[in-house]
Amino acid sequence: MQFNFYKPEQAITGPAYSLWFKILATCVTIVLAVYATSITLRYPLLDYGFGIKALLLGAAMMLAISYYWFLRSTVTIDDTGITQRWMYNRHVEWRDIRSAKMIGIPYLSAIFPPRLVVRSGNSFTTFNGGSQAVLVEFAKISLAYQMKK
């Protein structure tokens, strides 16, 4: 029998990023797309070398992929641990967690909600919470691991 320090009362799944963050990401993406269109119309980009074209195409692809995953990313807290689905999935099992703490940016919590930083072994993993239910569970996890000390 292995002792796990924390178990949630029920499985919770929610968005990893808040609505305000998604709106900000949408605005930034639109501004960058308009700016890229403006540059494309003003300069003959087809006259430049292959390296420049590949760099610009790669930057546009990274912007599109990041934007897609900002909109689609979810956090799940269940009996197995904490999982964030993103471009690459992050998962930490309860038995591996050594400490957990919530951190945030003062005065900007509407756009950038607090995050849960989990220490497991020698590494730190950060989980984003975009809904009230996920943030409440993050607070419970943080409090439980603070009381463990």
Tokens of 82: 């904490």
In 3D space, the residue among 88, 102, 101, 98 whose CA is nearest the CA of residue 119 turns out to be: 98
Range of the domain at 95: 12-17+74-148
pTM, two decimal places: 0.80
Predicted local confidence at residue 148, as pLDDT: 64
Euclidean distance between CA atoms 97 and 4, whole angstroms: 9
pLDDT in tens, 3-39: 567 788 889 999 999 898 999 999 999 999 999 889 8
How confident is residue 112, by pLDDT bands cut at 50, 70 and 90?
confident
Q: Is residue 3 part of a domain?
A: no
Does residue 86 share a domain with residue 64? no
How confident is residue 52, by pLDDT bands cut at 50, 70 and 90?
confident
Does residue 110 share a domain with residue 91? yes
Mean pLDDT of 62-88: 92
